[in-house]
Every structure is written in C-alpha cells, then in structure tokens.
Amino acid sequence: MRSAHPVLAGLSLALILTGCNSGNPPSVWKEYATTGAYSAAISESGSYATLGSFNHGSSLWDLKKHAREFNWNHKAKEFSLIAATAISPDETYAATANQQDLVLWNIANGQPAGFWSSPAEILQMDLSPNGDFALLGLANHTAVYFDAKNGGERRVFRHDGRVRSVDLSPDAQLAITGSDAYKAKLWNVESGELLQELEFGNVVDTVALSPNSQWAFSSGSLDKAVIWNTNTGQIKHSLSTSGDFFKKRISYLSARFSKNSDRLLTGTVSGLVQLWDVRSGKEIKAWRIHRRDPYGPVNAGIYAVGFGSGQYFALSSNGIMNVLK
C-alpha cells in the first residue's frame, strides 16, 4: 500500500466499534503538516515520505533528517489538493495527483518529469520501478496502468465499482485492486488477465502485495482483513475475524509487507499500528500514534506505514510522522 485515502468517512462510528486497543507510544514524533493531510506515502526503504497537506499542497520529506526537501504543486503560486501520492520502489521518482491531474517528480532534483490528465477522478495510485508507469485507481470503475513518462494507457482493468485501493508488486508484474464492489482482485499486468478474486462484506479500501509476490493483504471497511496466497487465492490468516464482535469491525487504511515478506505492518482508522508475523498470523507488536489533543475524542487515521532500519514509520491524517520501535 503506497498512498492513502483522502477522506476518513465514518470515523466516529469506527472509533466506537474498534474500541480502545492498547499500544506503545511512538519513540519520536514530528509534525509534517500543521493542520492535517489528505494523503501520504512512505518509500520502500523508509528514506522518504510524500504528503498531501491541508494547507501547503504536497511535499517530499527526508525521513532520516525529518526535513522537507521539496514543495510540489501542480500550478505555480497555488496549493494543490493532493488526493493521492506514491513513491517508486527504487526511490527515484514520486507522483502526486489531484482528482484529475497526475504529476511525476524526479526525487533527485525535485523537478517535474511528466504532467498528465487522468481519464477519471484518481482515488489512489502506485508507481512501477523508475517511475515508468503509474497504476491508478479511478472513480469510473477502472484501474489504469498509465505511462507516466510518455502518456497513454498501457492496460485497463475493469471493475463493477469505484477502485479505491491499488498496489503493484515491486517488479510490476502483478497488480492488486480493491473496489466498491466488495472485491479484491489480482491481475497480470502484462496480459491483463484476472488471476484471483476475493469477496468481502463491504468496500475494499486497503490492499498490498508482498515483495516476493507470494502474499497479499486485503481488507474491507469495517469488515474482515486477510493475508492470502496469490497463487491459490486461499486465505492464510484472518487478522480481524476472531469471535470478538469489535475486532471484526476494524478498518485498515494502510498496509505494507517487509522486504523479505515475513512481516506485515498495518495502520487503522483509529490510529493503531500493528506488526504481524506472516507465517503465524500473530500480532508481534502494536503502537498508538501521537494525537494532537490527548484528551480529544477523535484519533487520527494511519495513511501510510513503512519499514526502516530497526524502526517503523507511520504517517497519520493529523500530519504527524511517528517513529516506532
């Protein structure tokens, strides 16, 4: 999962249903956006983060220094509303999108490398290696594999509902999508063939593929969340379908597998970050991200999670970067 959802609909209801899960506090937290964010992404190695802020458009951050490297907006002297953002797996390019426009950025110099109009409203996206292609989840019931450097649609994956979650395997051979039609789908990018399909009880708002392409994560809004085998389509573990009523209704907003595919990091709508063992399906550790108002009734949702060297990252809707150990 590379980029977050622009709106946390039904947050109050989700908080009531999910309860107050315990978790460790972040070891460090830094403010990246003063009033909150629409979207965020964290790079594969935990070196960079991109953010779509409420009040200054988009920006690229160096996670080692917690320093803003570039401000990125789609029009000069205007702050863009960035609904989706992504970073290529080799950390050479990033992309930002408002509802209709996609901009590809060179991370080394901060300059734009492509500016394109989307076929429909962009809900989420991911980038292939070297930023060559962008997988776009669109409101017109399609996911599009788009040439981010030359323009044009390479492949169109059709759905029966809005495509609100997408992810590419690191080699861009596989794509996973989640839609308002209550389905997660696995695709062969080159041929466009539908390889696997899982049904849920609500809209599928979070999907992720493991680096070895063996595992996928998919979750429905206030519904089940599962790790499943991409070769067979069989569910390996259900992360939130125990006998407890409340645990069944956790909503996940972000997910990422570790580099060796044996760990899964997830972030929820209520500010809970969890580290899972992919082999056993057991929770290894959990954290609660920093809240601006510790006594307020509303937590912040986790827009992006990432693995670093001996630590983990979680970027939340309140504009706070959390370093977790």
Q: What is the pLDDT of residues 295-315, one digit of tens each?
A: 665 679 999 999 999 999 999
Joined tokens for residue 317: 């809707």
- pLDDT at residue number 298: 66
Q: Which token pair is 212?
A: 């070895």
Q: How far apart are CA 50 and CA 105, in angstroms?
A: 11
Q: How confident is the model over 251-273, as a mean pLDDT?
A: 97
Q: What is the mean pLDDT of residues 110-122?
A: 95
Pairwise CA distance, residues 280 & 188, whole Å:
28
Residue 92 in this model has a pLDDT that exceeds 50:
yes
Residue with token string 């060179």: 106
Average predicted confidence (pLDDT) for the chain: 91
Q: Is residue 244 over pLDDT 80?
A: no
Question: 76 versus 320: which is more confidently predicted?
Answer: 320
Handedness of CA 80, 81, 84, 87 (dihedral sign): positive
pLDDT digits (tens, 9 = 90+) for 176-232: 999 999 999 999 999 999 999 999 999 999 999 999 999 999 999 999 999 999 999
The number of residues making up the chain comes to: 325
pLDDT(20) > 50: no
Say how far apart CA 179 and CA 35 lie, in whole Å: 29
Distances from the Cα of 288 to the Cα of 51, 138, 314, 315, angstroms: 20, 31, 10, 12
Q: Would you say domain 11-324 falls under CATH 2.130.10.10? A: yes
For residue 165, give the nearest of 150, 187, 184 by alpha carbon. Answer: 184
Q: Rg of the chain over CA atoms, in angstroms?
A: 18
Cα-flanking dihedrals φ and ψ of residue 181, to 5°? -85, 10
* Torsion angles phi and psi, residue 276, rounded to 5: -115, 150
Long-range contacts of 33-36 (CB under 8 A, 24+ apart): 33/319, 34/319, 35/319, 36/300, 36/317, 36/318, 36/319
pLDDT given at position 16: 36
Higher-confidence residue: 122 or 23? Answer: 122
pLDDT one-digit tens code per residue, 138-187: 999 999 999 999 999 999 999 999 999 999 999 999 999 999 999 999 99
Both structure tokens of 99: 């509802």
The answer to whether residue 13 scores a pLDDT higher than 60 is no
Average pLDDT over residues 52-62: 94
Q: What is the pLDDT of residues 264-300, one digit of tens each?
A: 999 999 999 999 999 999 999 999 999 887 766 567 9
Reported as a pLDDT band with limits 50, 70 and 90, residue 17 is very low
